[in-house]
Structure 1
Amino acid sequence: MSGRAFQTLIALLLAGLWGAGLGIAHMRGDMWFLDRVEATMTDLRTVIGGQKPAPDTVTIVAIDDEVVRQEGSYPLARAKLAQLIDAIARLKPKVIGVDMLLVDPGSDDGDRALAQSLGKTASVLAAAAVFPEGQQRIETNPDDPLASVPSAERFLLPLKPFADVAAVGVVNVATDRNGTPRLVPMLFKSGDHIEASFPLRVVSVAKGVEPAIEPDRLLLGEQVVRTDIGQTLPLTFYGPRGTIRTISAAAVLNGQFAPDSIENRIVVLGTTVTGGGDVFPTPFDPVLPGVEVISTAISHLMSGDGIVRDRNIRLVDAGFAVGLPLMLVALLAWRRNVIGLVMIVCAVLAWLAINMAAFANGIWLSAALPMTAAIPPAVIFGAIQLWLGKRRVQHFARQSKLLQQIQAPGLGNWLARNPGFLAEPVRQDAAVIFIDLSGFTGLSETLGPNATRELLNGFYKLVDEEVAACGGTITSFMGDGAMILFGLPEPGVDDAFNAARCCVRLCDSTRKWLASLPESIASRIGFKMGAHFGTVIASRLGGGSRQQITATGDTVNVASRLMEVAASHGTELALSTEILQIAGQDSAPYQSGNLTGPLETQIRGRSGSVIVWLWQSMHPQ
């Protein structure tokens, strides 16, 4: 397995484990640290979905500012509450839910009148659960439908005369860290005592059935109510205050309302007076009355239009928590370019579309969980890939620089842009120059390896500088000499002229370099050069693991042998008549020395004679 594949496999494994760990915590309801993110995303999805009409099953009778002004006191006297309940009961509602805590005694006559009024109709009274340290303790046990319901320290129950004639339900709701009601527990326990919630009790009385408790759901007759951890009912709001039909208690007492708004409906009697009741922030209203929150839960239970989040939905969330980071990491590993980024964006948008569509259709898929599962692995893996990529770029840059130092200057970049360069041999015209130090072999025997290497490095450096200045290519350094081409990687019309100019510059530079050496060294060595122009075979020579770009052919052989001609005639440079004719016999490069010829001479290893010219500097060493 390659290093990259192994890195990707490890990243996928870690991303999967991270997502699985978060998914397990989500299944247990232990993701409290994501409450704010999930709350924000839930509010956003709710607002995008927009307001919707509330079912015509619940009517709120509000003890509001108008009735308090009319009666002159708050809270209303128990006798006045009795009168209000009697007025509602005469219109035969399904049930009257009193969302007020009647835990303190009032006047005897008032309490007696209220108890009589409650006893004449189907009614449900509010109770409250008191939790230690203000927290609801939840112990998760999927096999016991009651194990994870909120465990209260005690209940605040209505006075016994009222509780004896009416049903009782707990009104507590569960809010997120922003204070928005998200869940309504359907059941509460304190020790061995189990109490139903106020909304559940109201609906069960209205339907005339007792709720049956099963894991992750409640049964109201044939109706199945899917619940979240702890037998809680998720809330989704219809709109701002007043979306659920609300009638002022003053209008009821004065008979100024439509009777069909109460007849055969659930009526919830609650407080909306300024400063007199609970209010909660919601996506549509920053101060939604608590009675409307409770009525929303009642509407969900009656109409089945609430949003669903149960164990199966949380299992889907866990699947996204594992799948989304795996997908993003895999895409990052597969395509590290614009296409990969586009595919990642498409994957995220697809998930968002699924999430939004599910929410719009009443399924509460978590938004915070997949984001938390996907973002850290994707960011960390992407950052590591960028870091490794930067290291690879730096590594390749170092290799390229090293290649430029070892390979012919310019050929490395050319090969990078044209990988197929000289994959097949190419015939072309080129100028070929050879330069060699004479007497160097004998000198190296006395200098030793270190001094010999330093001496050669100096010679190679000046050759490299002069060839680069003239636009040539050093195909190889051969011991104490070099082979130079003008015409690679591409031939040009000035190759012969540039080669001639390079010859003269090399002669001058080499002569000066020799003069700078100690007399004991300079007196024992010299140099010779040969230059020719003609057709060469440019190609890559070598095996599959090591290749060298060079040129072969008769032109190369002649240029090499011309060094011997120069040495035999005691001159620095021997040129063929071909290069001289193309470059120009009277061209500027030769004006700094003496050019003699033509001379017909034999070339070792070659039949026939060659016409050459000899060049010697006017300032010999």
Structure 2
Amino acid sequence: MRARLISPAFLLVLVFALAWPGWLGWRHVHGLGGPLDRIETTTLDWRVLLAGPLPPPETVAVVAIDDETIEAEGGYPLDRRLMARLVENLRAAGAKAIAIDILFADAGEPAEDAALLEALSGGDVVIAGAGLFDHGSAASLVPRPDRVLWPQGTFAQAVPVGLVNVSSDSGGTPRHVPLVHLTRSGPTPSFVLQAVSLYEGEVPPLGRERLQIGDTERRLDLGWHVPLRFYGPRGGIPTVSAERFLAGRPDAPDPQLAGRLVLVGVTATAMGDTFATPFDARLPGVEVLATGAANLIEGTGLTRDSSVRRIDAVAALALATIGVVLLAFLPLGSALAAGTLLLIGWMLVTVFAVGQGFWLASALPIAGAAPPIAAAGIWRWRRDTKIARAVAKAEAALRRMQPRALAARIAEDPGFLSAPRETMAAILFIDLAGFTTMSERLGTKGTRDVLKRFHSLIVEEVMPRDGIVLSFMGDGAMIVFGLPDEHPDDGQRALAAAFALMKAVKLWLTEASGEHKLSGVRLGGHYGPVILSRLGHDEEQHIAATGDSVNTASRLMEVAKENGAALALSKALWDNAGSSSEINPPRTWRTVSIRGRDKALDVGLWD
């Protein structure tokens, strides 16, 4: 049975397979991922872990105000004259640019501020400001702080300032460093962008999704964000204690700092800010900023611009469409396996992509493909169930047209008897005496009722003995023992069925003699070789048993009639059945001529 493939239900599923991932993809391309972004960042962590940490950068280093520094200098915050000395000594160590991740928001002692201001005014230092976001601030691709915590006036006017804010996910893991903030005073560069500008000696040209650094472009995410790729746990970026440069002025450039962008920040226990990252649960904030700077300078950050986001959207649409098409055309098990392999394949692609520096989405394609594939699976299951029920119903109807054993064998082996097969079988023929007269008297409906009961009696006696009614012929029937397969006791079962039929039909005729006035029943039986085969056209066939044994069994009904007997069985069938105490011997054995047959046959007759 063939079901319509292009059904209204399938068209709805196909529309859903286009609309759902299309809508999710549009939101993703425009930075409106929502809850999917939370799932995405979780999967990104294990992909980053699989890809492993990056080698330490060669252009960026961290000078840490750590526990050693605070213990040696008597506490925190450090005296600003100490900070001035630190800056001067870092210059002496060969730092190309210095970025201080410390908020000098309050005025200090005039002498201290003056000393620090003098040290910061060398043109190679950037200091930190911070954007403040009120709870419930409107979301924007470019960060829009409600307020900015600037360094105190003299520092802010004399030294470049950058905002140190990073963009974290819902779990607090920093994912991006924004390069620009839209403050009330206008676009304001980030701390990282200011630091990189000092290192490069110029402000890198900022395009729509590009940042030009030297001769190369850095591809940015939406809103001028740098997707972070971490160098490893704490210390993944070369880190030196600040105390080393407070204890004394270096006599020569320090190999760990010379020619590098140096970020100064607090890493002391419980004093500096920390962030959870894939490699470290408490990575100091200054290392996060250093990571962003190194990613920009060396091009080691993850690439995730509009082009990459469009690839994600196309992947979601393609996976959903292919999955639905597979479910429409392949067997259900194969389609589900192929769809699963497609999703696993895409996940492997995203893992490989992270290793190559590309942030391809894993959550979006799966979220875009899974609901349409599930809908297609439900549609396919319902369609297949409907087809299976129709097929089962049709098969049940067809089985009624064939003997049960034959129908089961053909269902199991569709090629059964496609080539003829010779075998030994026991054949019985049975018909009613006086049927023609009865048919004229009862009419078509009455005759049908009589035949239905007669045929039922035949099946009830033959089927328990594993015989097959190969055909009903009006008031007669042909019964075969040895089909579909030959058995040693075929003759014995045929003999038992013959006597059971004779007894059952006689009882029925006796009980309803006044109703149909049939004069009796006749049976003929023989055992011998037959040819089992399929006869008919290639498109319309039936199973047949042919040969001399079949003709002989049919002629034995005539012998029974001629001799006034109810049952005539050949000596061959009697001998094959063997002796049985349940079967009475015939009233007589006769050697008779069979019409159309040269040789006479020994026949037993029963009344």
User: What is the TM-score when the length of structure 1 is the normalising length?
Assistant: 0.87
Q: Does 1:6 align with 2:6?
A: yes
- Residue 229 of structure 2 is matched in structure 1 by 236
Task: Report the equivalent of 2:139.
Answer: 137
Q: Which residue identity lines up with residue 571 of structure 1 in the other structure?
A: A
For each residue in 1:234-290, what CA deviation from the matched residue of structure 2 results, as whole angstroms up to 9, or x when unmatched?
Answer: 001111112212222333211388833333321212122333232110011111111
Residues 318-338 of structure 1 show CA distances to partners (whole Å, capped at 9, x for unaligned) of 232223334444445555387
- 1:174 aligns to 2:167 (yes or no): yes
Please name the residue that 1:423 is paired with.
418
Contact 1:408 1:476 in 2 (8 A): no
Query: Does the 8 Å CA contact 2:29/2:306 hold for their aligned counterparts?
Result: yes
Matches of 1:220 and 1:240 in 2, distance apart?
Answer: 27
Q: Could you tell me how far 1:364 is from its partner in structure 2?
A: 1.3
Letter in 1 for 2:603: W
1:297 pairs with one of 278, 292, 295 = 292
Kept after mapping to 1: 8 A contact 2:69/2:241: yes
Letter in 1 for 2:586: N
Q: What is the CA–CA distance in structure 2 between the aligned matches of 1:2 and 1:315, rounded to whole Å? A: 40
Letter in 1 for 2:132: V
Work out whether residues 438 and 517 of structure 2, in 8 Å CA contact, stay in contact via their aligned partners in 1.
no
Q: Is the 8 A contact 2:60 2:294 kept in 1?
A: yes
Q: Verify: 1:482 aligned to 2:484, yes or no.
A: no
SS at match of 1:44: helix
How far is the alpha carbon of 1:232 from its aligned partner? 0.6
Aligned partner of 1:566: which letter?
Answer: A
Residue equivalent to 2:371: 376
Partner of 1:308: 303
The offset of 1:573, in angstroms, is 0.9
Task: Find the aligned partners of 1:426 and 1:37 in 2 and give their Cα distance.
Answer: 66
3-state DSSP class of the match of 2:158? coil
Match of residue 187 from structure 1: 180
More moved, 345-354 vs 462-471: 345-354
**Given residue 98 of structure 1, which amino acid in structure 2 is its aligned partner?**
I
Name 1:58's counterpart in structure 2: 60
Instruction: Tell me which amino acid in the other structure corresponds to 2:259.
Output: N
> Who is 2:521 aligned against?
527
Name 2:500's counterpart in structure 1.
505
Does the alignment pair 1:254 with 2:247? yes
Deviations 1:385-442 (A, max 9, x none): 4454455444444444333332022111211233223335555543321112334555
Deviation for aligned residue 1:66: 3.0
CA contact (8 A) 1:127 1:171 kept: yes
Equivalent residue letter for 1:70: A
Q: Which one-letter code corresponds to 1:381 in the other structure?
A: A
User: Which residue does 1:127 correspond to in 2?
Assistant: 129
Asked if 1:569 corresponds to 2:570, the answer is no
1:41-78 residue CA offsets vs partner (Å, 9 max, x unmatched): 21111112223332132222222333333343433343
Tell me the residue number matched to 1:20. Answer: 22
Aligned to 1:142: none
Separation of aligned partners in 2, 1:557 and 1:120: 121
The equivalent of 2:320 in structure 1 is 325
Distance in 2, matches of 1:496 and 1:62, equals 103
Superposed CA deviations along residues 281-325 of structure 1, whole A, max 9, x for unmatched, are: 001111111111001001111211222111121122223222333
Alignment partners' CA distance in 1, 2:138 and 2:57: 31
Q: What do the CA deviations read for 1:342-367 (whole angstroms, capped 9, x no partner)?
A: 65565445433332222111111112
1:18-167 to 2 correspondence within 5 Å? 18-135=20-137, 137-138=139-140, 148-167=141-160
* Deviation digits for residues 546-570 of structure 1 (CA, Å, limit 9, x no counterpart): 4322234554344334324323433
Deviation, structure 1 residue 183: 0.8
How far apart, CA to CA, are the structure 1 residues paired with 2:84 and 2:409?
98
Partner Cα distance (2:129, 2:445) in 1: 99
Q: Tell me what 1:266 maps to.
A: 261
Residue identity over aligned pairs, in percent, reads 38
Q: Distance in 2 between matches of 1:175 and 1:614?
A: 102
CA offsets 1:190-243 (integer angstroms, 9 cap, x no match): 357111111111111111112222121122343312101111100011111122
> Would you say the 8 A contact 1:431–1:495 is kept in 2?
yes
> Aligned Cα RMSD in Å?
3.2
Structure 2 contact 552–594 (Cα < 8 Å) conserved:
no
3-state SS of 1:591 partner: coil
Q: 1:364 aligns with which of 359, 362, 374?
A: 359
Structure 1 segment 377-392 matched on structure 2, within 5 A = 377-392=372-387
Q: Which runs of 5+ in 2 are unaligned?
A: none
- Quote the Cα distance in structure 2 between the aligned partners of 1:602 and 1:87: 130
1:579 aligned residue: 573
Say if 1:544 and 1:191 are closer, same or farther in 2 by CA, change over 3 A: farther
Q: Give the Cα separation in 2 of the matches to 1:179 and 1:81.
A: 30
Partner of 2:554: 560
More displaced stretch, 342-351 vs 322-331: 342-351
Distance verdict in 2 for CA 1:418–1:426, change over 3 Å = same
Whether 1:223 aligns to 2:213 is no
- Contact map agreement 2:212 2:218 (CA 8 A) in 1: yes
Q: Cα offset for 1:175?
A: 0.9
For residues 203 and 194 of structure 2, what CA distance do their matches in structure 1 show?
9
Deviation per CA, 1:445-485: give whole Å up to 9, x if none.
Answer: 66677766555444333322322232221112233332111
Among 544, 547, 554, the alignment partner of 2:541 is 547
For 2:153 and 2:466, how far apart are their aligned partners in 1? Answer: 108
Q: Does the 8 Å contact 1:35/1:177 carry over to 2?
A: no
- The answer (yes or no) to whether the contact 2:10–2:379 under 8 Å persists in 1 is no
Which residue of 585, 592, 597 maps to 2:589? 597
State the aligned residue count: 603
Structure 1: runs of 5+ lacking an equivalent: 139-147
- Equivalents in 2 of 1:308, 1:483: separation in Å? 82
Change (3 A) 1:388 1:381: same
Name whichever of 389-398 and 282-291 sits farther off.
389-398
Structure 2 match to 1:463: 458
Q: What is the TM-score with the length of structure 2 in the denominator?
A: 0.89
Cα 1:256/1:160, change in 2 over 3 Å: closer
Change (3 A) 1:616 1:245: same
The structure-2 alpha-carbon separation of the partners of 1:544 and 1:21, relative to structure 1 and needing over 3 Å to count, comes to farther
In the superposition, relative to structure 1, how do residues 174 and 599 fare at CA in structure 2: closer, same or farther (>3 Å)?
Answer: same
Provide the rounded CA distance (Å) in 2 between the counterparts of 1:108 and 1:448: 130
Hey, what does 1:141 align to over in structure 2? Answer: none
For 1:538, the equivalent position in structure 2 comes to 532
Residues 122 and 166 of structure 1 are in contact (CA less than 8 Å); yes or no, is this contact kept in structure 2? no
Name the SS for the 1:269 alignment partner: strand
The partner residue of 1:613 within 597, 600, 603 is 603
Contact 2:179 2:225 in 1 (8 A): yes
Compared with structure 1, are the counterparts of its residues 109 and 508 closer, same or farther at alpha carbon in structure 2 (3 Å cutoff)?
A: same
Contact kept, 8 Å, 1:595 with 1:613, in 2: the verdict is: no
